């Protein structure tokens, strides 16, 4: 015996109440296996692949790409158990009997106790006996008959099934979302990437190549053509809400320190030329991250958070170091967990992996929460200094500026040196000016003379 089974949008473990459906990986009529990826959804922080909680046949899809779905709402329906083969077409007598019985109320079938099925991204909402399940939408077997031809549909004895889709075009979830937003059909594209991967450039080129719709004769272009409206959702919505909450909750203060980092740049050159470290991409950001971990051990007030409900200051004895990453979907801040115990090379590898994963839209939701302090590298954009806004729940954020070759006092003379500016924003409820100054001075001292780390 087969049975209908709804798949509700699961709780993705971020405390979020909704997600946007980016794309379906399956269609009605497809047979899926347990844990097969069936859809891509975008939360406020990341694109997540949803695996199927059961093996069965897809009988209904309850949302369209671009639609926002609440956690616990029915996302799709499966037919599970029994044979996966399509059901035979009903005869004329059977169709007539079914039509007659449709007018009578159906006796509710006994339901099994609510059970939560595990999947790769969390547990879906448990079935609630007090609320009826949403019925799967039926797809008509044949086109609906007109009033003038009442017997056309009844004369058909075959079922028209939706054709099985061809192999899915190879692309990443962010590229599929971009294609959906721009109205580009991925099926019609040939990917220019490795092994035929469809890239962002392919989608943008296809969108720009489409002819603009012709305006009616004598009509002028509508005023809306002069602006572009983009719905605020996903990462952009989450970032905006977090920044407003932080800016108007925590009293921000910012300090600056310009440092001669020539010794650090020379050390980086040596590491790049050393065969023993050739497989590690050590950057000034990694150096600043290591210096930050050392300085936090000496000034732990910057590694804390304000608990407004308990009226307490919570000090962390570990460092989950957030690294701000600019992506196509907006700003993400994944964090390196337990960074205080990592070597410089381990930090460099972890930062590189986090950045690559974030830009590909593959950051696990767990890596986007639980940070204790953050670093943002504005120097990569050629900027020297700024006043970064704190991540909510963190006491400080350090911005590293561009490294510039410029005249600088060195050993009593003026010489060309590598110089960088550090900007530290902090929550003045948690951190006093003296504590922030000591922390910033320690980071600057390590970058000025990396060997000083051995004395701290």
Which residues are designated catalytic?
A: 428
Question: How deeply is 58 buried, as exposed, middle or buried, from its count of CB atoms within 10 A (0-12, 13-18, 19+)?
Answer: buried
Q: What is the DSSP letter of 430?
A: T
Compute the half-sphere exposure of residue 134: CA atoms within 13 Å on the CB side of its CA. Answer: 17
Which residues lie below 8 Å from residue 392, measured CB to CB, with a gap of 6+? Answer: 242, 245, 246, 249, 250
Which residues lie below 8 Å from residue 136, measured CB to CB, with a gap of 6+? Answer: 4, 6, 59, 60, 77
Which residues lie below 8 Å from residue 421, measured CB to CB, with a gap of 6+? Answer: 256, 257, 258, 259, 384, 385, 401
* Other beta carbons less than 10 A from residue 399's beta carbon: 25
Compute the half-sphere exposure of residue 112: CA atoms within 13 Å on the CB side of its CA. Answer: 6
Per-residue 3-state assignment (H helix, E strand, C coil) for 2-62: CEEEEEECCCCCCCCCEEEEEEECCCCCCEECCCCEEEEEECCCCEEEEECCCCEEEEEEC
DSSP string, 249-296: TS-EEEEEEEEE-HHHHHHHHHHHH-GGGTT----HHHHHHHHHHHHH
Contact 377, 400 (CB under 8 A): yes
The span from the CA of 326 to the CA of 111, in Å, is 48
């Amino acid at each position: 015996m087969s049975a209908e089974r709804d798949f509700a949008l699961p709780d993705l473990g971020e405390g979020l109440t909704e997600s946007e459906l980016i794309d379906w990986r399956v269609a009605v009529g497809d047979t899926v296996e347990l844990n097969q990826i069936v859809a891509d959804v975008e939360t406020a922080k990341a694109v997540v692949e949803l695996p199927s909680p059961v093996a069965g046949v897809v009988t209904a899809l309850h949302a369209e790409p671009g639609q926002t779905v609440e956690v616990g709402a029915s996302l799709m329906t499966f037919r599970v158990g029994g044979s996966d083969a399509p059901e035979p077409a009903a005869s004329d007598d059977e169709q007539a009997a079914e039509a007659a019985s449709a007018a009578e109320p159906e006796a509710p079938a006994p339901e099994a106790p609510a059970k939560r099925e595990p999947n790769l991204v969390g547990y879906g909402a448990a079935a609630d006996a007090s609320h009826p399940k949403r019925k799967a939408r039926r797809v008509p077997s044949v086109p609906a008959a007109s009033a003038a031809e009442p017997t056309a549909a009844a004369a058909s004895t075959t079922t028209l099934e939706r054709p099985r889709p061809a192999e899915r075009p190879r692309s990443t979830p962010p590229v599929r979302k971009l294609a959906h937003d721009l109205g580009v059909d991925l099926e019609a594209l040939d990917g220019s990437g490795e092994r035929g991967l469809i890239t962002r450039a392919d989608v943008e080129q296809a969108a720009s190549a489409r002819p603009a719709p012709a305006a009616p004769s004598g009509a002028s272009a509508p005023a809306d053509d002069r602006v572009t409206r983009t719905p605020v959702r996903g990462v952009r919505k989450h970032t905006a809400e977090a920044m407003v909450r932080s800016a108007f909750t925590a009293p921000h203060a910012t300090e600056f320190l310009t440092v001669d980092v020539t010794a650090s740049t020379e050390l980086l050159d040596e590491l790049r030329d050393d065969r023993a470290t050739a497989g590690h991409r050590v950057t000034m950001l990694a150096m600043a991250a290591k210096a930050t971990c050392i300085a936090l051990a000496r000034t732990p007030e910057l590694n804390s958070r304000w608990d407004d409900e308990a009226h307490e200051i919570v000090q962390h004895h570990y460092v989950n170091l957030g690294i701000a990453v600019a992506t196509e979907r907006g700003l993400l801040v994944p964090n390196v967990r337990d960074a205080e115990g990592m070597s410089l090379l381990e930090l460099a590898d972890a930062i590189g992996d986090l950045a690559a994963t974030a830009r590909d839209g593959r950051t696990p939701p767990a890596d986007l929460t639980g940070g204790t302090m953050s670093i943002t590298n504005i120097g990569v954009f050629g900027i020297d200094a700024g006043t970064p806004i704190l991540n909510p729940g963190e006491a400080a954020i350090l911005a590293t500026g561009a490294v510039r070759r410029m005249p600088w006092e060195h050993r009593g003379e003026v010489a060309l040196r590598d110089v960088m500016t550090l900007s530290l924003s902090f929550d003045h409820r948690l951190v006093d000016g003296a504590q922030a100054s000591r922390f910033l001075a320690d980071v600057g001292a390590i970058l000025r003379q990396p060997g000083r780390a051995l004395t701290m």
